[in-house]
Every structure is written in C-alpha cells, then in structure tokens.
C-alpha cells in the first residue's frame, strides 16, 4: 500500500525484456523482496546493485503500464510502501495500474502547472471533481472533468520532487483510480444488476 507521495526521482539504467534496473538512493534501505512503486506500478526488488535497484517485470505489468517506453535515462517516480505508523498524507494507492493515458495539454505558470490528461469512456465514472487519482504514482486531485479528459494542478513543490515537470503533450502516464470509488461503482452495478434480474424473474 502506498500514498502517492514520491520519495525519490530515480533514473532508468537499463531495461531488457522483463528486467529493469533503476538508479536510486533508495538502494540504501531496500532489501530483495521489498515492494517499490515505480511510476505508481508496484514492483518487487529482485536485486540490489551499486546505487541501484533491479526489478523483474511480468508481461502483464509491462502491457498495462508505461514501462515498455522506458529507456536508459528515463526519470521515474519512486515510493516505498506505507508503514502502519505513517501518516496517510496522500490517498490510498495500491500500486496496481488501471490504465495508461496521454498528456493532452500543459499550461505552466509561476504558481505551478495545470495538465490535461485523456480518459477513456469506461473509466470516466471513476473520476470525481476534487477526488483523488494517482498519475504515474503521484497523488493528485482532479481539478476539472469533461467526458474525454480531466485536469490536475501541480504546485512547484510537486514539480521539483517528481517527474511531472517533464510532462508535455504526447507524454504517457500511468493512472490508478481511487480504490474506494472502484468498489462503490462495482457494488452499485451489482445492486442494479440484481434488481433488473429480480424484475425479470417476477414477470
């Protein structure tokens, strides 16, 4: 379990097939078998090198995330799991990426940066204005919402600590929708589905 507050900006050293190696200061406290969120995707540390961590990425993970687009030098957001004693400063992030999306528009200002990101129709019900979403592992708030896109606003502190400052139109990001919203939507669909079935059977 993660919170979406990025601890370190790592840099991809290599990616070959299912193997991914990232240079990061988190190597100092990590152990093989530990979980680390890489751009919001929960990966398991397979080995520790000199100032680096290596991970094994399953085909499922590669197909559902932006990992396939990594190359040596790519900046990534990194976060270690939440401890029970830690404060939940972001929101509940599982590290299970739901989809990838394209950055459509970026507007910079002295106060920060506003970013518009595409959203497919099937995921639109999971977005709520002023609700939470994890974008490449960063806990952000949905600022505005229309059927095919949503916007988030990043403050200078977030831009400094994460890779968001590198985003531009055409960039791809990982999205994880709020887990609470996903459960509510599933249960609502189940209730509606059962009601329709009852109505059918009573005819």
- When the candidates are 3.10.440.10, 3.90.190.20, 2.40.30.20, 2.130.10.10, the CATH number that belongs to 99-185 is 2.40.30.20
**pLDDT at residue 197, as a whole number:** 45
DSSP state of 90: S
User: Is-contact 18 27, C-beta < 8 A?
Assistant: no
**pLDDT at residue 87, as a whole number:** 59
pLDDT in tens, 36-52: 999 999 999 999 998 99
Residue 178 has pLDDT above 80, yes or no: yes
Per-residue pLDDT band for 201 (boundaries 50, 70, 90) equals very low
Per-residue pLDDT band for 200 (boundaries 50, 70, 90) equals very low
**pLDDT at residue 184, as a whole number:** 83
Higher pLDDT residue, 14 or 190?
14
Domain boundaries, the chain: 8-79, 99-185
**pLDDT at residue 17, as a whole number:** 84
3-state secondary structure of 84: coil
- pTM, two decimals, is 0.87
How many Å apart are CA 26 and CA 11, to the nearest integer? 12
Check residue 110 and give left, alpha or beta (phi > 0: left; psi -120 to 50: alpha). Answer: alpha
Assess whether the region 8-79 and the region 99-185 belong to the same CATH fold: yes
- In the chain, what percentage of residues exceed pLDDT 90? 71
pLDDT in tens, 76-114: 999 998 876 665 666 788 899 999 999 999 999 999 999
The fold of 8-79 is Elongation Factor Tu (Ef-tu); domain 3 (2.40.30)
């Amino acid at each position: 379990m993660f919170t979406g507050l990025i601890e370190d900006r790592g840099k991809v050293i290599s990616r070959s097939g299912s193997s991914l190696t990232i240079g990061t200061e988190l190597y100092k406290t990590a152990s093989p078998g530990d979980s680390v969120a890489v751009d919001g995707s929960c990966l398991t540390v397979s080995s520790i090198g000199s100032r680096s961590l290596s991970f094994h990425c399953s085909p499922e993970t590669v197909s559902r995330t932006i990992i396939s687009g990594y190359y040596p030098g790519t900046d990534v957001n990194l976060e270690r799991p939440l401890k029970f004693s830690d404060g939940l400063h972001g929101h509940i992030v599982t590290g299970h990426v739901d989809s990838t999306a394209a950055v459509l528009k970026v507007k910079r200002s002295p106060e920060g940066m506003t970013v518009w990101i595409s959203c497919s129709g099937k995921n639109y019900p999971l977005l709520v204005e002023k609700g939470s979403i994890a974008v490449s592992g960063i806990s952000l708030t949905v600022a505005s919402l229309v059927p095919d896109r949503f916007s988030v606003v990043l403050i200078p502190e977030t831009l400094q600590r994460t890779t968001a400052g590198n985003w531009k139109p055409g960039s791809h990001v990982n999205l994880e929708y709020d887990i609470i919203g996903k459960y509510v939507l599933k249960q609502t669909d189940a209730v509606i589905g059962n009601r329709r079935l009852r109505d059918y059977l009573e005819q």
